[in-house]
A = this chain, B = another copy of it.
Amino acid sequence: MRIIVTNCNTTGQMTEEIVRGARAAAGPGTTVAGLTPTWGPESAEGWLDSYLSAAAVLDALRTYDGPAYDAVVLAGFGEHGREGVRESVDVPVVDITEAAAHLACLLGRRYGVVTTLDRSCGLIEDSLETAGVARNCAAVVGTGLGVLDLAQDQARTESAFLAAAERAREAGAEVLVLGCAGMTGLHRAVGEKLGMPVVDGVGAAVRLAESLVGLGLTTSRAGGYARPLPKRRVWGRPAG
């Protein structure tokens, strides 16, 4: 099985890390390929970035001309676009935001999300709500670190994560969700210290994508996710 994992930003190094995490999580027989949009924001932090990212990811998949794939994982935590990708491709599509929440619901009564900047909390809340999995979310808490800061000082990142996790726990969380694709790997470091399961959305999404493929399930066309209508669409500012 071949899964395309799309980064939501243009930072190739982050795609590599995400792909590393995805591969570590994938079952035997699964091939993971990363896809970095050729345009969009270098990191997605807020609504403007998120909408720009959504269009860029849709374009990257639209113009993808590599080997066929069996599923798509969207590796932008809280970012927009998943419904559009569901319309566009004929294979299962799993967004890491919803994926982490789905698995977290199986592990405890309430889960909390620890993310990067506070400004991203609202996006994540809305994304969980529309995905149908917000009911058991106790809190979405920011660490104050930007997406591209996460990798710079591992000790600082861990410490900020643990502080934010404590706030989520006080709000009732029994399970934690890593609220940024760039946190992949961190769950190993902090899981034991916290005494709570920590769910990484990238790994969760890869496994859910494998599950859907394995069960022969794909997106319903009977309703909101029908194939896009044929029409004239221009993808990005015309040159010149």
Contacts and interface: CB of A to CB of B under 8 A. Distances in A.
Interface of A: 10, 25, 27-29, 38-43, 45-52, 54-56, 58-59, 63, 80-81, 83-84, 86-88, 92-94, 98, 102-103, 105-110, 118-119, 121-123, 126, 129-136, 146, 169, 172, 174-175, 195-197, 199-200, 203-204, 207-208, 210-212, 214-215, 217-226, 228-229, 231-239
A239 to B, nearest CB: 4
A103 B221 CA distance: 16
A42 B233 contact: yes
A10 B211 CA distance: 29
B199 A207 contact: no
Query: What is the copy number of this chain in the assembly?
Result: 6
Contacts of A102: 102, 105-106
Contacts of A130: 126, 129-130
A196 B175 contact: no
Given A28-B29, A51-B54, A84-B48, A222 B234 contact: no
A107 B175 CA distance: 25
Contacts of A214: 25, 27, 207
Contacts of A50: 84
B122 A223 contact: yes
Nearest to A233: B41
A212 B107 contact: yes
A174 B223 contact: yes
Contact of A49 (B121, B196, B211, B228): B228
A229 B45 contact: yes
A28 B25 contact: no
A235 B233 contact: no
Nearest to A217: B197
B98 A46 contact: no
A42 B41 CA distance: 24
A144 B151 CA distance: 41
Contacts of A126: 130
